[in-house]
Amino acid sequence: MKSLNIIILFSLTAFLISCEQAQNQLDNNDQVNESKTEAIDNSKENVAPEERVENNSIQVRGYIEVPPENKAIISAYYGGYVRSLSLLNGQSVKKGDYLFSLTNPDYLNMQQEYLMAKENIEFMQSDYNRQKELVNENIASGKSFSKVEADYRTAKSKYQALKEQMKLLNININKLEQGVFSPTVNIYAPIGGMISMINISTGQYLDEKTPAVEIVNTDHLHLELEVYERDIAKIKKGQPITFMAPEYSSVQLNASVHLINSIIHAEKRTAGIHAHIESSIDSLQLMPGMFVEAEIFTK
């Protein structure tokens, strides 16, 4: 029993000594930290503020694009089933080249309606001319002539509208007026360029709202860059630009600021910069949509 009491007393004494040593260590650490803090504060007071050097360029990002007139999305003016199609993505086409054809029984009804309107306008024009002569000779009344004139103008408007409809369908009007009907219409390229998108297949019904084919003319590429609003005031027309595309990271190309969009994007807080490419890019396969990193030199 006496031995147990001695062991407990020894353990308690050792515990108290360790606690005192730990407290002394914490006090020493606090003193060291306070000394470090004072030294840092003194150094800040004794060192003059560093001068901020104004950068003469702005790093921006963007992409390669083409003007709106160099891009065409072709769809059907009047819905039909795709009868033939022989296009591939990346294929080059010229303006006026055949792209695909559509077929629809309604095309025949539209052609027949045009011929009927043509015959009607010829009859009404003859009646109009006759009534006009009678009025000039005071044989017919002006009221009856006014009715004939109004009917003639209405029929003429309908005929002209149907004629334009035939042109939209690429119907050969001369052959149609000779009695040659066509249940199929051909779609041709409105511009020259490269096929960048094909959204149809043979046998598919193509309505007026569905884009069928996209053509992009890459003869005139430009840059669309984004600049943060804080840097807009530094941008001026004509400032030089260097840029690189990831696909040609070892090639540095030149451009210049051409237009500055004055509208700030509400969420991104950026404005668009339109830049003209000035380097020769004939040997590079730059394409619309390619990401670029650019540097605008402000001085």
Domain check: are 149 and 98 in the same one? Answer: yes
DSSP 8-class letter at 98: E
- Domain annotation covers residue 268: yes
Q: What is the reported pLDDT for 284?
A: 79
- Domain annotation covers residue 278: yes
Instruction: Classify residue 167 as exposed, middle or buried by CB count within 10 Å of its CB (0-12, 13-18, 19+).
Output: exposed
What's the domain range around 92? 70-216
DSSP 8-class letter at 265: P
- Domain annotation covers residue 24: no
Please identify, among 198, 216, 234, the residue that sits at the C-terminal boundary of a domain.
Answer: 216
Mean pLDDT on 116-139: 80
DSSP alpha helix (H) spans, the chain: 2-46, 105-136, 142-168, 173-177
Given a cut of 90, whether residue 6 has pLDDT beyond it is no
Please identify, among 216, 232, 247, the residue that sits at the C-terminal boundary of a domain.
Answer: 216
DSSP 8-class letter at 47: S
* Cα separations in angstroms, 271 against 137, 231, 236, 284: 72, 10, 13, 28
Q: What is the reported pLDDT for 294?
A: 93
Q: What is the reported pLDDT for 178?
A: 92
Given a cut of 50, whether residue 297 has pLDDT beyond it is yes
Number of domains in the chain: 2
Domain check: are 119 and 209 in the same one? Answer: yes
Domain check: are 111 and 142 in the same one? Answer: yes
Domain check: are 188 and 207 in the same one? Answer: yes
Task: Return the percentage of the chain with pLDDT > 90, whole number.
Answer: 55
- Domain annotation covers residue 40: no
Residue that is written with structure tokens 């003193």 in the block: 31
Q: What is the reported pLDDT for 174?
A: 93
Given a cut of 80, whether residue 2 has pLDDT beyond it is no
Measure CA 267 to chain center.
18
- Domain annotation covers residue 115: yes
206 close to 200: Cβ distance less than 8 angstroms: yes
Given a cut of 50, whether residue 92 has pLDDT beyond it is yes
Query: Which of 63-77, 247-261, 279-293 comes out lowest in average pLDDT?
Result: 279-293
Domain check: are 108 and 158 in the same one? Answer: yes
- Domain annotation covers residue 46: no
DSSP 59-71: EEEEEEE--GGGE
Domain check: are 141 and 192 in the same one? Answer: yes
Q: Assign 3-state DSSP to the chain and report helix, strand, coil percentages, each to 5.
A: 40, 25, 35
Domain check: are 62 and 76 in the same one? Answer: no
Q: In terms of pLDDT, which residue wins out, 63 or 262?
A: 63
- Domain annotation covers residue 189: yes
Given a cut of 80, whether residue 20 has pLDDT beyond it is no
pTM score: 0.68
Most confident listed range (8-22, 35-49, 184-198): 184-198
Given a cut of 80, whether residue 108 has pLDDT beyond it is yes
Query: Which of 56-60, 66-70, 146-150 comes out lowest in average pLDDT?
Result: 146-150
Domain check: are 196 and 80 in the same one? Answer: yes
Instruction: Classify residue 78 as exposed, middle or buried by CB count within 10 Å of its CB (0-12, 13-18, 19+).
Output: middle
Classify 83 as helix, strand or coil. strand
194 close to 92: Cβ distance less than 8 angstroms: yes
Q: What is the reported pLDDT for 135?
A: 67
The Cα 229–Cα 293 span in angstroms is 18
The 3-class SS string of 110-137 reads HHHHHHHHHHHHHHHHHHHHHHHHHHHC
Q: In terms of pLDDT, which residue wins out, 1 or 260?
A: 260
Model confidence at 291, pLDDT cuts 50, 70, 90, reads very high
- Angle, helices 105-136 vs 142-168, to 10°: value is 150
Domain check: are 97 and 191 in the same one? Answer: yes
Domain check: are 251 and 195 in the same one? Answer: no
The Cα 96–Cα 244 span in angstroms is 35
The Cα 120–Cα 242 span in angstroms is 66
Please identify, among 165, 181, 216, the residue that sits at the C-terminal boundary of a domain.
Answer: 216
CATH at residue 92: 2.40.50.100
CATH at residue 247: 2.40.30.170
Domain check: are 104 and 205 in the same one? Answer: yes
Given a cut of 60, whether residue 10 has pLDDT beyond it is no
Q: What is the reported pLDDT for 191?
A: 95
Query: Which of 31-45, 49-63, 110-124 comes out lowest in average pLDDT?
Result: 31-45
